[in-house]
Amino acid sequence: MFRILKERLHQKYRTLDYPRVQPQLSPRFLGRPSIVPGPCDTACHACLKACPTGALELRADGPVLDMGRCLFCGACRDACPQGKISFTGEHRLAVRTREELLVTGAAAPAPEQRGATAASPDAPEKSPRDLRLFRRSLKLRQVSAAGCNACEADCNVLGTPVYDLGRFGIDFVASPRHADGLVVTGPVSENMRQALLDTYEAMPDPRVVVAVGACAISGGLFQDKHECRGGATTLLPVDIYVPGCPPNPWTILDALLMLTGK
């Protein structure tokens, strides 16, 4: 016991004062993509050929990158001879609508403004739900629907002292009957489809759904495989999309705080 206390004093305070203090991520971290405005050379399709998931589309006004399919591998950046695609160090990637995952040459909205377009009075049918009910307490059930354990590991690490998810009133629970929301990882294999639906149905209303990772959003590398269902978005009403392969733990934490309005 004394050795444990001595080590605890030696390590001191490890929890970051997030979100008031932003984390210092590695320079190698690939965050939100950035695209230089303007059309591409129509004869060049190097980025399309390099992308393993078909996340890129070439339009008349320039390329469009779908973060819901992107693996953040950087292959398109390395392949583009014009240098039109780059990756920033921005970890706050979660959004509330599928359309917000599309990155173009237009200026990216500030992280604090995510969801503002969807919530505008001009588009009430796309307005996100008011989730302030979960501001003080949010219990989540996580389902790995044929995931590779990368996204699952980054969800699990949120319980460590560095991230300390519990200080925000957010916890993962064992039973869907005790949960307010469902966190889905993996491309949703056919063998996991019914289990995922049963878990969702077992949760009481109002319930929320968080799709974590490219697989859960679009199927990722497995989107065209007949054994998979193309992610949770084809089966469940998703409230928060968390892109990445896997998303950084800070990205997932930011998404959960965004969900609760914090």
pLDDT tens string 187-243: 999 999 999 999 999 999 889 999 999 999 999 999 888 888 889 999 999 999 999
**Domains in the chain, number:** 1
**pTM higher than 0.75:** yes
Within a domain: 210: yes
| More confident: 133 or 75 | 75
pLDDT for residue 5 is more than 90: no
For β-strands 170-172 and 138-144, DSSP reports them as parallel
In a domain, 175, yes or no: yes
Mean pLDDT calculated for residue range 35-64: 88
How is residue 17 written in tokens? 């004062």
Looking at the domain assignment, is residue 177 inside a domain? yes
Q: The CATH number of the domain where 159 resides is what?
A: 3.40.50.12280
The DSSP secondary structure of 61-128, one letter per residue, reads TEEEEETTT-----HHHHH-TT--EEE-S-----BSSGGGGEE-SSPPPPGGGTTTTTTSTT-GGGPP
> Binning pLDDT at 50, 70 and 90, where does residue 117 land?
very low
Q: How confident is the model at residue 11 (pLDDT cuts 50, 70, 90)?
A: confident
Q: How far apart are CA 92 and CA 22, in angstroms?
A: 10
Does residue 234 form part of some domain? yes
Instruction: Using pLDDT thresholds of 50, 70 and 90, give the confidence band for residue 40.
Output: confident
Q: What percent of the chain has pLDDT over 70?
A: 94
Decide if pLDDT at 132 tops 80: no
**Percent of the chain with pLDDT strictly greater than 90:** 67
**Residue 63 domain-assigned?**
no
Least confident stretch, 2-11, 30-39, 78-87, 89-98: 2-11
Q: Nearest-CA neighbor of 32 among 250, 229, 230, 235?
A: 250
Averaged pLDDT for residues 168-177: 94
Is residue 136 situated within a structural domain? yes
At residue 109, the pLDDT reads 78
Coil, strand, or helix at residue 183?
strand
* Residue 120 placed within a domain: no
Cα-based distances in Å from 161 to 16, 167, 212, 254? 9, 10, 22, 16
Question: Residue 245 CB: number of other CB atoms within 10 A?
Answer: 18
Asked, for residue 220, whether it belongs to a domain, the answer is yes
Write out the residue range of the structural domain in which residue 203 sits.
132-260
